[in-house]
């Protein structure tokens, strides 16, 4: 309990940081004015959910840019709204591909680089460099002088970029079949990585990092390192939007996503109890906004790929019957309803009163005493539901990899993307 209280304080600090109107928010807290706090936090919540993120995907022709744009959005090449992929470079103009569930997160499929008369400044004028939050530079071969120039131009404009060497699955398969007796996957990967780094250094880039990927098995190889770097470099609002939208392809991704959502439990609970509270049917001592909480729980299902659409797609891709995947779920198997939220609140209310007593002893949070029990109940319900969603997402991925054990990878990673 004590650690939960401590956690909520930490989250609160983060939220004070996040809110644009920090001083007014602090004053509202200190005055114990819950409706005022909730109104301010509501706009923070809204901007968190709608923050715009534009990611430019550039690099060599045929390197896998479009395949990446699909895989990172949890889509296959033939799904609706997927980018065109193929042996011939398809992209002539920058093409935006919004995430199907989080449309304010947009991946831009940019034209490939491969002509002899390449000029990075011209290229960026054409694709409008300022539009993007950061860039991914993908190549399936060596990093050429043109790609290095592209990276240097991005640096000159003070933006981040990440170098990706794609199709490492091809290198590994070739090496395994050509040199079976001395084959070592790690050695092949290190050789590719070292070669890429050296070439970029030779072109004037300092301390370059290169991430090795297969777009066909996105969660494998260096994806978690790439994700870690991108997340670290983003400012807090955009970081949350990015994490929530990531496909559930590995345990580290699930954990990072859960941590970001956990930080906002406190924010959601405050708004739900303060902005539009109504007594909960069957639980009159608790007043909150059931509609908002229903949306929050649906949000968890969507972000962790537990909604009907995502599970049906996963079943189709893995050849697993949907009912077998559904069987492993502890949380809701269908759309969340207000009746379900009321039931979950009832379950959470059991030990919430002890928790609300603890809250009273925490400076600042104690000022929310007016809604102590409601807040504690809603907070507990959200935390429990989030934990269940994370554990369900892990079970689903394990289940999805059961039929073909070779798809299960070490370190808790899975090769099959879950939207
Ligand atoms: N083996 C393998 N093939 C890939 C990978 N990424 C893309 N491809 C294939 O490479 C071809 C070109 O991919 P595409 O995404 O259209 O490249 P783009 O021109 O950079 O957009 C397609 O046939 C893809 O299926 C990968 O990581 N591994
Ligand atoms: Mg393309």
Q: Provide the pairing of β-strand 283-288 with 278-280.
A: antiparallel
CA distance 293 to 350: 19
Nearest listed ligand to the Cα of residue 114: 1
Q: How far is the CA of 67 from the centre of ligand 1 (A)?
A: 6
pLDDT of residue 227: 93
Global pTM?
A: 0.85
Residue 135 gets the label, from left (phi > 0), alpha (psi -120 to 50) or beta, of beta
| C-beta of residue 251 within 8 angstroms of C-beta of residue 410 | no
Does the CB atom of residue 88 touch ligand 1 within 6 A?
Answer: no
pLDDT of residue 5: 42
| C-beta of residue 272 within 8 angstroms of C-beta of residue 293 | yes
| C-beta of residue 370 within 8 angstroms of C-beta of residue 34 | yes
Nearest CA to ligand 1 atom 8: 64
Q: Long-range contacts: 406-413, Cβ < 8 Å, 24+?
A: 409/219, 409/220, 411/251, 412/250, 412/251, 412/252, 413/219, 413/220, 413/224, 413/249, 413/250, 413/251, 413/252
Nearest CA to ligand 1 atom 13: 64
Mean pLDDT of 156-162: 95
What pLDDT digit, counting tens, does each position of 94-145 carry?
Answer: 999 999 999 999 999 999 987 667 888 899 999 999 999 999 999 999 899 9
- Three-point CA angle 125, 127, 131, nearest 5°: 95
Mean pLDDT of 210-236: 93
Query: Which of 67, 76, 91, 170 should be mutated for ligand 1, with most atoms under 8 A from CB?
Result: 67
CA distance 29 to 41: 11
- Please identify every residue whose CB atom is under 5 Å from ligand 2, which is an ion: 65-66, 90-91
* φ/ψ of residue 280, rounded to 5: -80, 130
Give the dihedral sign, CA 268/273/275/276.
positive
pLDDT of residue 413: 45
Please compute Rg for the chain using Cα positions.
24
CA distance 233 to 126: 26
Q: How far is the CA of 171 from the centre of ligand 1 (A)?
A: 14
374, pLDDT greater than 60 = yes
pLDDT of residue 4: 47
Beta bridge partners of 300: none
Mapped onto helix, strand or coil, the DSSP state of residue 235 is: coil
Nearest CA to ligand 1 atom 25: 86
pLDDT of residue 49: 82
CA distance 48 to 52: 9
Query: Which of 57, 64, 147 should be mutated for ligand 1, with most atoms under 8 A from CB?
Result: 64
Nearest listed ligand to the Cα of residue 68: 1
Does the CB atom of residue 49 touch ligand 1 within 6 A?
Answer: no
CA distance 151 to 393: 36
| C-beta of residue 328 within 8 angstroms of C-beta of residue 315 | no
What pLDDT digit, counting tens, does each position of 171-189 carry?
Answer: 999 999 988 888 899 999 9
Residue-by-residue DSSP string for 90-124 = --SS-EEEE-SS-TTEEEEEPPPB--TT--HHHHH
What pLDDT digit, counting tens, does each position of 389-408 carry?
Answer: 999 999 998 888 765 444 44
Query: Which of 215, 221, 223 should be mutated for ligand 1, with most atoms under 8 A from CB?
Result: 215
Mean pLDDT of 77-81: 85
């Amino acid at each position: 309990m004590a650690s939960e209280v401590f956690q909520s304080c930490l989250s609160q600090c983060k939220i004070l940081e996040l809110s644009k109107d920090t001083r007014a928010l602090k004053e509202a807290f200190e005055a114990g004015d819950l409706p005022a706090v909730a109104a301010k936090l509501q706009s923070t919540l809204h901007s968190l959910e709608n923050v715009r993120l534009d990611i430019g995907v550039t690099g060599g022709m045929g390197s896998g840019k479009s395949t990446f744009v699909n895989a990172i959005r949890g889509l296959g090449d033939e799904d609706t709204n997927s980018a065109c992929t193929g042996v011939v470079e398809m992209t002539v103009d920058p093409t935006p591909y919004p995430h199907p569930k989080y449309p304010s997160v947009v991946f831009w499929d940019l034209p490939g680089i491969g002509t002899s008369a390449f000029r990075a400044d011209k290229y960026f004028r054409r694709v409008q460099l300022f539009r993007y939050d950061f860039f991914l530079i993908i190549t399936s071969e060596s990093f050429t002088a043109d790609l290095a120039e592209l990276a240097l131009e991005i640096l000159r404009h003070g933006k981040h970029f990440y170098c990706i060497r794609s199709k490492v699955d091809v290198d590994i398969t070739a090496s395994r079949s050509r040199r079976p007796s001395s084959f070592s996957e790690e050695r092949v990967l290190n050789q590719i990585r070292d070669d890429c780094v050296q070439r970029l250094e030779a072109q004037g880039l300092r301390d370059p990092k290169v991430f090795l990927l297969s777009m066909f098995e996105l969660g494998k190889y260096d994806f978690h390192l790439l994700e870690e770097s991108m997340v670290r470099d983003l400012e807090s609002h955009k970081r949350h939007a990015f994490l929530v939208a990531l496909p559930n392809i590995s345990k580290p991704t699930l954990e990072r996503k859960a941590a970001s959502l956990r930080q906002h439990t406190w924010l959601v609970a405050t708004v739900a109890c303060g902005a539009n509270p109504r007594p909960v049917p069957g639980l009159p001592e608790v007043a909150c906004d059931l509609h908002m909480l229903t949306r929050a729980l649906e949000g968890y299902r969507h972000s962790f790929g537990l909604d009907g659409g995502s599970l049906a797609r996963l079943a189709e891709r893995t050849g697993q019957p949907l009912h077998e995947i559904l069987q492993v779920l502890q949380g809701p198997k269908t759309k969340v309803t207000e009746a379900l939220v009321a039931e979950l609140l009832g379950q959470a209310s059991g030990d919430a009163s002890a928790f609300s007593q603890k809250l009273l002893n925490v400076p600042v949070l104690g000022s929310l005493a007016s809604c102590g029990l409601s807040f504690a109940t809603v907070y507990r319900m959200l935390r429990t539901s989030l934990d269940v969603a994370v554990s369900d997402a892990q079970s689903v991925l394990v289940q999805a990899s059961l039929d073909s054990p070779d798809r299960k990878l070490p370190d808790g990673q899975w090769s099959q993307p879950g939207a």
